[in-house]
Amino acid sequence: MPNPLQTPHSGYHWDGSERRFFEGWYYRVTLPEHRQTFAFMYSIEDPIGSKLHSGGSAQILGPNDEYICRSFPDMKKFWAWRDSLGLGHWGKTEWLPPFQGGREGDLLNFPPPYQGGQEGDLLKPRLLPPEDFTRHIQQGYQGTAKWHQGSLHDPGTGHTAHWQYEIQPIYGWGNPGQPQQSTAGFFSFLQIFEPGWQILMAHGLATGWIEWNGKRYEFTNAPAYAEKNWGGAFPQKWFWLNCNCFDDQPDLALTAGGGRRGILWWMESVAMVGIHYQGKFYEFVPWNSQVSWQIQPWGKWEMQAKNSQYEVELLGTTDLPGTPLRAPTRDGMQFVCQDTMLGNLTLELREKSQTILKASSSLCGLEIGGSPWEQPWMSKSD
């Protein structure tokens, strides 16, 4: 069935060329009863293969900002859909077809061409039924707009993670019942903005389980989120705030961020704020609003945005040290950003100076990235 909340840019962007290219995907689940968040980050670089940085990776930021990372160097075991959200990467596998001593029934649940296909078809990466993924894929992940599953072991730390949950999308990026929007606007369809950025699902509800270092978390209708980025160039500097788990506000989702990005032959500083609240989308972007920000090297994120009808103020803070994360750069995956999923946030939304909403959370995602961050970044959108 078509997904009415599918956003533009949900599909895989690589055009098959040899140019420098990366694409990254982000899934997040917040567990209010545990006061914790799981953030899953997947990336692929230079998919043509045989390049210095060709390969994939999976990172997870788990409870108390603990971290797991795993590389997947074999490009032939990566798959992604062109027209909708769907991707996966296999690491270590264990296949048990009948001719290797397995049971005949081991193959019956596979989609075509497994039923009646050739022996080589068994190793072609694709979306698998959950039970078959669990049986055969010892290391790897798979995700769509409505399903997310995987298993990772970090050889450096010995940490492990296993997860399996379904997703009910609530908000894409835009007003429900209307065509969903490109986060970076109409021109993001053209290769003049690098990198591209798209919120895939501003808010959804996840039901399933996550096992982290042997501890199992089961959840029902937990707040979920998804986004992606892609391109052949890399931002010089950026910041990000994300929260869809507010105190006493179950129908509220915020994503805000900014950065210095390339447009053809020059750089620009841009920022935006997007809010979904009670069935309405409030968008503050450079082409319809004035957006300003004051971001410290770490610990404090302030944003203000105003258009002809609405205005918003955001304040994100943390006393936590944050966790370094890898991100794609010209020199491959490097520790160039810092995150916490346990940030404090206050939000105030007004219409012509009359307050519509005040909200707060202690489960906000906060990030800075790029360099240098030796001084506060204070700016307005160009």
pLDDT for position 185: 67
The residues that bridge with 259 in the sheet, in sequence order, are 238, 270
Give the pLDDT of residue 378: 92
The pLDDT, as a whole number, for residue 59 is: 97
Query: What is the CB neighbour count within 10 angstroms for residue 240?
Result: 21
- Do residues 101 and 156 make contact, with C-beta atoms less than 8 angstroms apart? no
| Amino acid in the structure at residue 380 | K
- Under DSSP, the state recorded for 93 is B
Token code pair at residue 362: 């202690």
pLDDT digits 0-9 by tens, 124-170: 899 999 999 999 999 999 999 999 999 999 988 899 999 999 999 99
Rounded to 5 degrees, what are φ and ψ at 39?
-120, 120
**For the chain, how are helix, strand and coil distributed in percent, rounded to 5?**
10, 55, 35
At residue 353, does pLDDT exceed 90?
Answer: no
Between CA 241 and CA 253 the distance in angstroms is 11
| Poorest-pLDDT segment among 18-22, 101-105, 230-234, 255-259 | 101-105
Which is nearest to 212 in space by CA: 68, 321, 57, 28?
68
Please report, as a single letter, which amino acid is at residue 25.
W
Mean pLDDT across the chain, nearest whole number? Answer: 89
Residues 325-347: what's their mean pLDDT? Answer: 95
* Polymer length of the chain: 382
**29 residue type, one letter:** V
Assign 25 a pLDDT band (cuts: 50, 70, 90): very high
Average pLDDT in the 113-121 region? Answer: 43
Q: Which of 183-187, 193-197, 242-246, 247-251 has the lowest mean pLDDT?
A: 183-187
- Residue-wise pLDDT tens digits, 224-276: 999 999 998 777 899 999 999 999 999 999 999 998 866 555 567 889 999 99
Residue 122 pLDDT grade (very low, low, confident, very high; cuts 50, 70, 90):
low
Q: What is the pTM of this model?
A: 0.92
- Collapsed DSSP state (helix, strand, coil) of residue 195: coil
Centre a 10 Å sphere on the Cβ of residue 99 and count the other Cβ atoms it contains: 8
